[in-house]
Amino acid sequence: MNTLFNGLLSILRLRSGPQDLSVSWSSALPLIAGFLMVGVFAGHQLAEEDSTAISLAAAALQYAAVIVMLAVRKFPERLAQTLSALAGTGIFFTILSFMFLSQADPDRQQPMLAMAWFSVFFWSLAVDAHIYKNALSITMAQGMLVAVILLAASYVLIEFAF
């Protein structure tokens, strides 16, 4: 467990990639389940309608895209590590975002809170790009493009479906 935690921490710092995590579904599946549970919990606490369906749909889109991209690039053996990295870092970013969003008050301006949340958002985008870069053996710019396209696709899916 300590090795997994250190690996995820290193990915969050952009010092290593998913290839440095163990190739194990026994660690990937609990991380994926934890990511889904944290997303559903945060959504319920923030009073989002359909938070369970939204969390499941967004994760399904991202994970399906990863499966397809790894298959197209002929790296299917990287799937468990990539999903572990995305889910593990996703847990961290969801909790951090929840901490900021739960402090938001729509009746007053909170520029420092907004800046903190945007910093977390861009850090999360950079970490996702870094994970895609390493998993797909592409450049960081291409990894960022993948991360932005998947973010936009998730947004469109949520807006049209919910």
Domain segments of the chain: what residues?
Answer: 2-161
Q: Residue 96's CB: how many other CB atoms inside 10 A? A: 17
pLDDT of residue 57: 93
| pLDDT, tens digit (0-9, with 9 covering 90-100), for 42-93 | 988 987 788 889 889 999 999 999 999 999 999 999 999 999 999 999 999 9
pLDDT band per the 50, 70, 90 thresholds, residue 143 = very high
pLDDT at 162 exceeding the cut of 80: no
pLDDT of residue 71: 98
Candidates 15, 39, 18, 43; CA nearest to 28 is: 18
pLDDT of residue 128: 98
More confident residue, 158 or 136: 136
Sequence-distant contacts of 118-123: CB under 8 A, at least 24 apart: 120/93, 120/96, 121/97, 123/93
Q: How far apart are CA 61 and CA 63, in angstroms?
A: 6
pLDDT of residue 1: 67
